[in-house]
Amino acid sequence: MSLIVAARFTTFPAAESASQRLFDSGFIEEDVTLFFVNPRGQHARYPIGGDTGTDPSARDAAKGAGKGVTIGAVAGAVVGVGIFAAFSAPIIVSLIAAGVGAYVGSLIGAMSHTREHASQVPSHHETRDSGVLVGVHVSPDNQMVAAQILRDAGGATIERATGRWQQGRWSDFDPTRDPVPIKEFSENRA
């Protein structure tokens, strides 16, 4: 695993300027990379998009649907029997009314349980802000020099990480992992 120091910039020109400062201070091109980090929750971890497989607020929808089917089927059957008794309609009307009631009840039940729990679920756990990230492959001896250059160039959220540095880039960067700020540079900018 490699030691990496990184900082977030709001624009590509600012990140490129910081990279140039690193080069001017003796860092080589193979040890500096820059790339854009998407906003929270928009990292397309799944083929249909997003970063989670399911919506956490929909977790109890099946329970609600089950309750709704039962209540809806009973209500539909009562309505069907009422129509049967009042209008001498065929028994099939009672069965259709029970089926429609069950279907509508399952929808209402599922949606009501989804709505109940939506306010209890945090919207997203990520703390990493979007922007252009400049990553620097460093050693224990020059990590503070790199951090100071990035801070002086206007970088925000100066962080330290360990990861795989391959072919001049941070190959295992995970945008959903929280940044670990360097204590001496923990004051957040931008």
Count Cα neighbours of 130 within 13 Å in the Cβ-side half-sphere. 7
**Can you give the pLDDT at residue 189?**
47
Give the span between the Cα atoms of 156 and 185, in whole angstroms: 9
**Can you give the pLDDT at residue 121?**
45
**Can you give the pLDDT at residue 177?**
84
Give the CA angle between residues 130, 133, 139 to the nearest 5°.
Answer: 140
Give the span between the Cα atoms of 61 and 117, in whole angstroms: 9
**Can you give the pLDDT at residue 72?**
82
* 1-5, 82-86, 165-169, 180-184: least confidently modelled range: 82-86
pTM over 0.75, yes/no: no
Cβ atoms within 10 Å, residue 40: 17
- pLDDT grade for 114, boundaries at 50, 70 and 90: confident
* 38-47, 59-68, 91-100, 174-183: least confidently modelled range: 38-47
- pLDDT grade for 50, boundaries at 50, 70 and 90: low
User: Would you tell me the crossing angle of helices 143-152 and 12-24 to the nearest 10 degrees?
Assistant: 140
78 or 34, which is more confident = 34
**Can you give the pLDDT at residue 56?**
63
Residue in 173, 182, 178, 180 with CA at minimum distance from that of residue 148: 182
Count Cα neighbours of 180 within 13 Å in the Cβ-side half-sphere. 8
Which residue's entry shows tokens 């607020």?
57
Q: Name the average pLDDT for the chain.
A: 82
The answer on pLDDT for 45 being more than 80 is: no
- pLDDT grade for 190, boundaries at 50, 70 and 90: very low
Q: What is the pLDDT of residues 146-189, one digit of tens each?
A: 999 999 999 998 999 999 999 999 999 988 788 888 888 775 44
**Can you give the pLDDT at residue 2?**
92
Average pLDDT of 118-133? 67
Calculate what percentage of the chain has a pLDDT beyond 90.
40
**Can you give the pLDDT at residue 141?**
94
Domains and CATH numbers, the chain: 2-41+125-185 (3.30.70.120), 56-118 (no CATH)
Alpha helices in the chain (DSSP H): 12-24, 61-87, 91-118, 143-152
